[in-house]
Each structure stands twice: as C-alpha cells, then as structure tokens.
Structure 1
Amino acid sequence: MSATSFALAPSAAATLPAASWSSTSLTLPPLGNLDAYISAVNRIPMLSAEEERECARRLRERGDLEAAAKLVLSHLRLVVAISRQYLGYGLPQADLIQEGNIGLMKAVRRFDPALGVRLVSYAVHWIKAEIHEFILRNWRMVKVATTKAQRKLFFNLRSLKNGLKADAAETRERLSPAEIDAIARDLNVRREDVVEMEARLSGADVALDPLPADEGEDALAPIAYLADHRHEPTEVLAARERERLATDGIEQALAQLDERSRRIIRARWLDVDENGQGGKTLQELADEYGVSAERIRQIEAAALKKLRKALEPYAA
C-alpha cells in the first residue's frame, strides 16, 4: 500500500450514514467543508477487535487494499481528535488532519496483529509524528527544531509555558530563571537547551527584503548587511584575476629584470609577512651593494616601471 493510497483530505472524504460495514461503500464522493468531513468520519462504524485482526491479517498476507481501507477509515475519527490538540499553533485543522491521515496510513501499513495490541494504540505515535513534523516545517519560515531531542523539547516546552502562564494569569512572553530551572528539571534537559529553545519560540520571522513602508530612506534592509558578496560572479572573476596576476604574471615580469633589479624588488616588496612587514629599507640594500640609497631608489623606480609594462597584458 503506497503512502497516499487512502489519503483522505477534508475535501475528499465521504458521507457515510451507514451503521455497519455491510452497507458502507468504499467509493467516497467529495465533501464540501471541514465540518462535513468531521461529521462523516464520526459516522463511520468502528471495527471490532476480531474484524480489525482479520483486516490486518488480510493486508499483511495478501496485500488486500480493501482491508487496508477499512482499517484507515475506521480510525479517521482518531486523527480528528488528535488534530484538535494542536490547534494552538495557528495552522489550519484541515492540514493537520491531512498530515495525521498520512501517519495513520503508515501505521496501518506497519501494523502487525500478532503484537496483541489494538491499532488505535499503535497508530497514535505515527499520527502525532506526522503532525509534529508538519508543524515544525510550517510554524516558522526557519525550522526551529531539527534533532529528535529538539523536537521533543519544542512541544513539551510550549505546553509547559502555556501552563505556567495560565497558573500565573500573566501574559508575559519570557520565562523567569526559576521557571527555566523548573522546566529543565521536569524535562530532564540542560538549562542551556531550555534557554535556547525558549529564544527560538519567542522569536519572530523577519523579512530580509524589502523594508517596511514606514522605514526611512537611509535605512538598510537586513539583506544588505547579511548578504555574502564573496560568491558573486564579479567577485569570483576578480579574485581569480588577482590570483593569476600574483602568481604567473609577477613571476614572468620579474624574469625580464636583471638580477640586481630583481633582488631589490623582492627584498623591498615581496619578501614581507602577511602584515606587510619585513621588507628591507633603501639604506640596508645600499649597504649590501656598496652604493648610495639614492642609487638603490633609482634602480627600484626603473624596475617598477618595467614591471608595470610587463604586467599590462594581465591587467587587460
């Protein structure tokens, strides 16, 4: 059975007034709204324990899709009930039900009647897991929890925060240090993890671009100072050209100088550290060659002129 074989969105369920499966059709005409869907699934008859085991056995042994449909349909009301627990996240209940239905189908596909438990107990985990994943994907633009531990902390912390606010009859958003310590003990997690997740819960999405209409003309949108320009095409090409000029170009240009001029240019400008320190002075080179500092300056100037001319093809 594929994961979408019996996905019953609120716009694709059926009115099933029958009181027993003997008169219930598995061909489902569309419904118009969520209330009609919920009313319909609440009228779908429940399977007895024996009927459930028989359907599960037929599905596992023969791949009987009609049996799978009965298992799914008879538990749609469970998905509706679970979805109500997550209405406080501001997401449409219809979407929560749809995701829960997918979790229900996954549970049906994996259910083993030999486990000795009813499908309703087995399916709760799968239904909640799909709804949790849907909430984490859509609650904020940036996903607030990625690891299994963060997911658990996200839902538990939000529930505990709401309980603390209700007990204290307060509307403040941030937790006090004492409340953070209490939640960390209750959930058996580090205090730092609670602080980090609470900050994510309290934050809000910020538009990167454009600026709100009431901002001044000189204001910068976040995209202006968050963007990384290092990988823009023009910057990449300029960096490649600088690298080529600093390696092949300079070496070939130096090769056109006489030995003394090349030694002076290297000692003055190339034999330096990353901070630009370490180059020799004109006087130091003058002492080395036994000439005046002015003569070294003249040689240097002439060599630099030759280098610029030799590097013109690379600059072009």
Structure 2
Amino acid sequence: MSDSLALKVRNPWSLVPSLGNLDAYITAVNRLPLLTAEEEQDYARRLQSKGDVDAAGRLVMSHLRLVVSISRQYLGYGLPQGDLIQEGNVGLMKAVKRFDPDQNVRLVSYAMHWIKAEIHEYILKNWRMVKVATTKAQRKLFFNLRSMKHALKEHSDHQQRSSLTESEIAHVAEKLNVKREEVLEMETRLSGGDVALEPQTDDDGESYAPIAYLADDSQEPTRVLEARSRDHLASDGLKQALDVLDPRSRRIVEERWLKVNDDSSGGMTLHELAAEYGVSAERIRQIEVAAMKKMRKAMTANVAVAA
C-alpha cells in the first residue's frame, strides 16, 4: 500500500503497531502522510459538526509523529519513551477534541501545548516518588533549569563545571521568577540519583540497601526523654499539678477538662458551674484561667526536677 493511500484504509489504526515495539511504532508513524490545510479543515469540521469519529482518528494519526518528536525532548528524565509517547498521545486527542477550525490556526500549533502539558503532568507524578514541583513557577523551573544550565555552559569558559555560579543562579532565578533558594534546591534534586530502598537482587547475601540500615527514631535518646516526660506529665505530673489548686478551682478544671460522662458529652459548662456556685459564668472562666496558669507552672517545675 502506498503512503498516499495510507490514511484511506477502512481501519487506519491497523497501520500503527503497539508501543511494545517502539522502533516499529516510530517507523510506522513517520511513514504516515501529513494532511494538507484543506484536508485538516475538512476533517475538523466533520468532527465539530457531526462528531465524526473517523475524522478525529485521521487528525490524530497525521500528528502522531509530532508526539514522537516532542517526547524526545524529555528523555533526560529517565522515563521510558514509550510512556512519554503514550501520555503525549492523550494530550493530542484532547487537542483534536477541542480544536476549532475557524480560528485559522493549524492543528500542529494548537496541539503542541496539550501534548507538552500531558507529558509534564506525567513526569511530575512519576519521575520521583516525591513531587518536586507544586506551584506554577516551580514547574517552570523544573522543566527549564536543565536547558538553561546547558545554555549557560555553552557561553562559559568552564564547560566542565557542573554546578552553577552565584551569578548564574541569580540569572536563572530572575529569568524564571523564583527564589535563589528554589533554584539551588531544584538543581540538587535534578542532579541527585534515585536510590532503591529495597535490594535489587538477593543472589548475594552481602548486598545491602538503605532499608537495612535506616535508623529507628523511636530509640533516639532525645525522643526517649521526650516520651518519658510526656508520660510523666500525663500521670504523676497532672496529679501533682491538680494538688496545688484549692477545692473549687480543682473541681472547675476537672469538670471542664478532665471529666467524660458515659455519653462522651464531657463535664459541666461554665453556666452550669456558675449556677452551682452562685456566681457569673465570667467569674468561673476567670477562676479556670488562673487555675490553668498555676497548673502550668507546677508542671514546668516537675519537668525540670525530672530532668
């Protein structure tokens, strides 16, 4: 079958192999002919007015090579090109669906934005387990820092130097409208390699991965002391702090903060305590505040003694 008839077969998708064989896929899409402006307009109008799925398919197929070309720009992130192409194809289909033939713009120009956006989103979600970019400015920094570093090296006398100078960092930060610290952090993340927590093979009993020697924070001395102090304050410390209060103040604190009824409704309200003691709710609140201050002072002293 000649290339001129390639898009006229009953099932044009049969011409494109799966992405499992990447080389065959790229060869096939590069052989598909491009549409003329008139053909593109005709297919786009058929899709827009009649929802013609066949017309949509032909618009997509004629631009598959564009996705392959764009995907090559993102090979430096260590992700399979087949996955990048697949995500880019999703963006292409979104572009075809939204394409307006009356805007006097070729689909290739319109689709580039959608293809790149879909690939960007895929990279941000899958390049590292930790997302490295959240804000719009950080995303711009993520996808432009590598190319900007390359351009700076080409104009530098020290092309073998891998890190940026202070002036170069300032230039990048100003150009991309981000902070100097964000440039440094992103450069560190881009230059750092991923390390597997689990061992990659169990053939050698001497092989170790980070999971084998990560520290247990729960046994770190300061954490042990913090846990002991917390347990002391929750038991003996609280009892000793309550002992410094007069009976009325102690009952108010216990009713307000420490008592839990069978229905989990808590103790008495300020108004209920005010009615019992024959004073205003504001007076009960003042007594409560003063009592809490005394308890806090007593508990602080207990912690110092325990230490």
TM-score of the pair, normalised by structure 1? 0.62
- Structure 2: how far apart are the matches of 1:183 and 1:55? 43
Q: Which residue does 2:100 correspond to in 1? A: 112
Q: Which residue of 2 aligns with 1:69?
A: 57
Instruction: Please give the alpha-carbon distance, in whole angstroms, between the structure 1 residues aligned to 2:56 and 2:162.
Output: 46
SS at match of 1:175: coil
Percent of residue pairs identical: 56
CA distance in 1, matches of 2:118, 2:85: 10
Are the aligned partners of 1:76 and 1:101 in contact in 2 as well (CA < 8 Å)?
yes
User: In the alignment, what sits opposite 1:200?
Assistant: 189
Equivalent position of 2:4 in the other structure = 19
Alignment of 1:130-145 (within 5 A): 130-145=118-133
TM-score after normalising by structure 2: 0.63
* One-letter amino acid of the counterpart of residue 82, structure 1: I
Paired residue type of 1:78? L
Structure 1 residues 74 and 27, CA gap change in structure 2 (3 angstroms) = closer
The one-letter amino acid paired with 2:29 is V
Change (3 A) 1:220 1:33: closer
1:137-178 deviation per Cα after TM superposition (whole angstroms, max 9, x unaligned): 222221111222111111111111123344445444421212
Secondary structure at the aligned position of 1:126 is classed as: helix
Match of residue 175 from structure 1: 164
Which one of the candidate residues 101, 106, 113 is aligned to 2:89? 101
* Cα distance, 1:220 vs structure 2: 7.5
Matched residues in 1 for 2:147 and 2:218: separation? 34
Contact 1:41 1:77 in 2 (8 A): yes
Instruction: Classify 1:271/1:94 alpha carbon distance in 2 versus 1 (closer, same or farther; 3 Å).
Output: closer
The answer to which structure, 1 or 2, has the higher relative contact order (CA under 8 A, 6+ apart) is 1
Equivalences for 1:1-316 in 2 at 5 Å? 17-20=2-5, 21-23=7-9, 25-28=11-14, 30=17, 33-168=21-156, 170-207=159-196, 221-222=213-214, 224-225=216-217, 273-276=298-301
| Cα shift at 1:18 | 2.9
Change over 3 Å in CA distance of 1:227–1:174 after alignment to 2: farther
Structure 1 stretches of 5 or more lacking a match? Answer: 1-15, 229-234, 263-268, 279-316
Distance (whole Å) between structure 2 residues aligned to residue 98 and residue 271 of structure 1: 61
Q: Structure 1's 224 and 44: CA in aligned 2 closer, same or farther, altered over 3 A?
A: same
Count of residue correspondences:
235
| Residue pair 1:136, 1:143 contacting (<8 A) in 2 also | yes
Q: CA deviation at 1:72?
A: 0.3
CA contact (8 A) 1:145 1:151 kept: yes
Q: Tell me which amino acid in the other structure corresponds to 1:28.
A: S
Instruction: Indicate the RMSD between aligned Cα atoms, in angstroms.
Output: 3.9
The whole-number CA distance in structure 1 between the counterparts of 2:21 and 2:191 is 33
Superposed CA offset, 1:181-220 (max 9, x none): 122233343323322322332334455567x9577xxx98
Conserved 8 A contact 2:87-2:119? yes
SS of alignment partner, residue 189 of structure 1: coil
Query: Aligned partners of 2:218 and 2:125: how far apart in 1?
Result: 23
Counterpart code for 2:37 = A
- Supply the distance in 2 between the matched residues of 1:271 and 1:148 (Cα, whole angstroms): 46
Encode CA deviations 1:2-43: one digit per residue, 9 max, x unaligned: xxxxxxxxxxxxxx7532333474241645621211111111
SS of 1:275's equivalent in the other structure is: helix
Structure-2 change in CA distance of 1:202 and 1:213 (3 Å): farther
